Amino acid sequence: MKALPSVLLTAALVGAGAFAAPQIIPVPALPPSSGTPLPELAPLPTRSAPLPPLVPLSPSPSTPSTSYRPSDPLFARQWNLQAIRAPGAWAQLAGTGRGARVTVAVLDTGFVNSPELAGRVVNGYDFVSDPARAGDGNGRDRDASGVGEFAYHAEVIGNLIGAAHDGRGMAGINPQARVVQVRVAGTDGMVDPQDLADGLRWAAGLSVPGTPLNLNPARVLNLSLFADFIPLTGCDTRIQAAVDAVTARGALVVAGAANDGADARGYSPAGCRNVLTVTSVTQGGQRPSYANWGTSVALAAPGGEPGHGIPASSVSGPGGERSPNGTSFAAPHAAGVASLLFGLKPTLTPAQVRDLLTRTATPFPTGRCDSDPRKLCGRGTLNAEAAVRAVLTSPGPSAPTGTLR
């Protein structure tokens, strides 16, 4: 079952709450049915509390590391971070500040001023060209603010990538990442192929006619969507050209595989060349029935299943929280880890990062993700700990600290 249009790769929501007619967001937090809101919904303090020191990584790579544990209250329920062995990755980053100051673009439903990303989320650009679908009274413009009931979609994705480790709300994979929100989806959740192609180029810092240059070009582009208004028979030529251009620029494109339980190769961008296509697995490491599969899929990451989704902070959710599931939420796990790798070694190419993430993936518990051997999910489940270790132990200079890329 899909609660949203198929373009937004979200299979279902838990505790989503009801929405009124579309309104320009930020969406106010809905009052919780019981208890109190998550602490992150309170005003942010001027200075964060001191973070606990990191300790060295356990010498045994076969056992998930628990040597660093964020104090964010939602972390205890973020099973997805344990599944990708994020604590082991963070422990190895003690000398670099436990994250990487790398810019990630989220091409999605638009900007929400998330408290989890305070000071690190950028209102990028609105590429929705059809005023009727834009819902904000015009077509393309400089305000990428999300509009309508699906606005939370991009917010949750950004939070999964970069939520601060500050003792409030949730923990993100790269708590130093800058997130640039680029709006390509209308209020209907649909994406025009040309809007997506232009958004891709802009996000990576390439010129787009009639659009100001992006002053925050990204090394990683997260696309938890696919293009509409085209047949699902292969990668759209406009999108392929844009993917090739941003890849040549040095940016990695990460895409969700989509949620139709079908072969992902017919989808754009999941079926395009030079894309790291990610499908979903459950907490048990198996493909949920909604998740697309096939030879175009590079690896899997936690996407959850109905009734057991991915816990995340959201200003639009009841009590400041949502638990969505879908390949929308598998892709940002890979995007977040990719940003850590680029931060450790800025000279890495997109192809090298794709190779690192697939080569270090954890094998599926039964050797494959599905009982049907045709339904492939790539090399395994994303393993942040192993990927970071591979970069740290490889020859070559590491990244200087203190610079956002």
Is 33 part of the annotated catalytic residue set? no
Task: Retrieve residue 60's tokens.
Answer: 């045994």
Q: Are strands 312-313 and 321-322 parallel, antiparallel or unpaired?
A: antiparallel
Q: Is residue 263 among the annotated active site residues?
A: no
- Select which of 328, 333, 339, 370 is catalytic: 328
Catalytic residue from among 65, 72, 114, 153: 153
What angle (nearest 5°) sits at the alpha carbon of residue 285, between those of residues 300 and 222?
A: 25
Backbone angles phi, psi at 51, to 5 degrees: -85, 145
Query: Which residue is it, tokens 């990719």?
Result: 338
DSSP structural state of residue 296: T
CA distance 28 to 146: 13
328 tagged catalytic? yes
CB 45 within 8 A of CB 342: no
**Alpha-carbon distance 223 to 206, whole Å?**
17
Q: How far apart are CA 225 and CA 106, in angstroms?
A: 10
DSSP state string for 244-263: HHHHHHTPEEEEE--SSSSB
Contact 38, 168 (CB under 8 A): yes
Q: Are strands 178-183 and 103-108 parallel, antiparallel or unpaired?
A: parallel
DSSP codes of every residue in 27-89 = PPPBPPSSS---GGGSPPPSSPPPPPPP-PPPS-TTS---S-----GGGGG-HHHHHTTHHHH
Rounded to whole angstroms, how far apart are CA atoms 101 and 402?
7
User: Where does residue 376 fall: left (phi above 0), alpha (psi -120 to 50 degrees), or beta otherwise?
Assistant: beta
Tell me the catalytic residues. 108, 153, 328
